Amino acid sequence: MLNHDLTIRILKTASSYLIEELKIEESIIERLRNAYLGLEQNKLDSWLDTKSKQEIALPVENLDCKNYDEVEDIKQGLMNNRWAFEKIKGSKVIAFDTSEMFSHHITPYFILVNTGYFFYDYFHGEYLENSIPLFFTKKQIEDLIEETKLPSWILQYMRLDCYSQVFSELLEKQDLSGAYVFLDESISSGFLSSARDDVIKKLMNKLLQNLEEMINSNTIPIAIFYSMSRSFVNFLSKVSNLNDVKVTDKQLFDRILKPGQRSPLMKIYNHPTSLINREVYAFYLKIFDGNVLRVEFLGDLKGRIDEIHKIVLLQSIIGDGYPYCMARAHEQAYLSEQDRRFILSLLSNQLPGISPIMVSKKLERKLSSLI
């Protein structure tokens, strides 16, 4: 239980430090913005250092902010999503998300991965939404770890494998041809940079296998997420001789872009992408003030950048700031405490007198909402 009185005193003290830090950030962002506006396009390549340990985003388009449509129309659309519904007619979208249940407080140990999906065909008015739970026993998990040699990253591998299985099942029951596949993932996978090279290669290859399966099925897989990356800021800081810059790309492009606009297309250079023979591209998309998404995709799809800009923007308008299909897939994937109790109860009923489910007192109290 939160100590309200003490929290009030702590936050009153901390707020003065926060105000000072925000003022410093504002100054840095303004310097970066001015540096961006002063960049010379023809000199950018000369600053690229592919051996840098930092993730770098190199612009591969001219540096103008890119509009999907008239900005005034987009502002109107943000207030009335019927505008977006009219613009997106004829398109198909599908999104996936996962939620997991596992705990060392439960005996026998298991992992349940619940993959939620949402599909909408805006031309025919057809939609599908559901979740598919996949259950892994301790033995199955141990066998998979032995096969993949990924003990610390096995859950990430399982999630990617579940995406693939569910996508294949949907292909058998629904015409997904031409659909945009929304993934709450990072294709450039900067979060893997600290892992061993063999681990990075296995996870990146699994991700690429999924993406190639989707592309070969005539769908367009794109990754959309909120990012704390500094990949473009890292590059801009070097070009502009600005040192120790601690702001994110998202903060910078929130200042540069207008609602509905995207940044130039950028090629991502980092350690994970250096270990695979594929190019990864990204751009930032501003929906409204304070709401900037990062969009990533393989180089195979860079010719579709205007279409991708359009679809992600319209889905975000329909979803009041976040892609509607992704929000619906998340709802399907989410495991509530009630769902978790149901799973434990069902398992207990299936294993009477054999190996009853044992739950630690700590988890039992959490499930009972006492803590």
What are 289-325's pLDDT values in tens digits?
999 999 999 999 999 999 999 999 999 999 999 999 9
- Give the mean pLDDT of 336-348: 90
Q: Is the dihedral of CA 114, 88, 306, 54 positive or negative?
A: negative
Confidence category of residue 119, pLDDT binned at 50, 70, 90: very high
End-to-end CA distance of the chain: 8
Can you tell me the mean pLDDT for 133-156?
Answer: 95
* Predicted confidence (pLDDT) at residue 370 exceeds the cutoff of 50: no
- Distances, alpha carbon 215 to alpha carbons 116, 222, 299, in Å: 20, 10, 12
Average pLDDT over residues 200-212: 97
Q: Is the peptide bond before 133 cis (omega within 30 degrees of 0)?
A: no
Does residue 369 have a pLDDT over 60?
no
- pLDDT for residue 164 is more than 60: yes
Q: Is 156 helix (H, G, I), strand (E, B) or coil?
A: helix
Q: Are 119 and 92 in contact (CB under 8 A)?
A: yes
Are 102 and 111 in contact, with CB atoms under 8 Å apart?
yes
CATH class assigned to 49-335: alpha beta
Q: DSSP string of 28-42?
A: HHHHHHHHHHT--GG
Predicted pLDDT at 371: 37
Residues 316-338 have a mean pLDDT of: 96
* 204 closest CA partner among 282, 270, 292: 270
Please indicate whether residue 289 or residue 369 has the higher confidence score (pLDDT): 289
* Lookup: tokens for 71: 């900005």
- pLDDT above 60 (res 68): yes
Structure tokens at 180: 């945009």
pLDDT of amino acid 335? 96
Q: What is the pLDDT of residue 82?
A: 86
* Average pLDDT taken over every residue of the chain: 90
Q: Does the reported pTM lie above 0.75?
A: yes
Spatial distance between the Cα atoms of 367 and 215, rounded to a whole number of angstroms: 42
Find tokens 């596949």 and name the residue: 181
Give phi and psi for 184, each to the nearest 5. -90, 65
Residues, the chain: 371
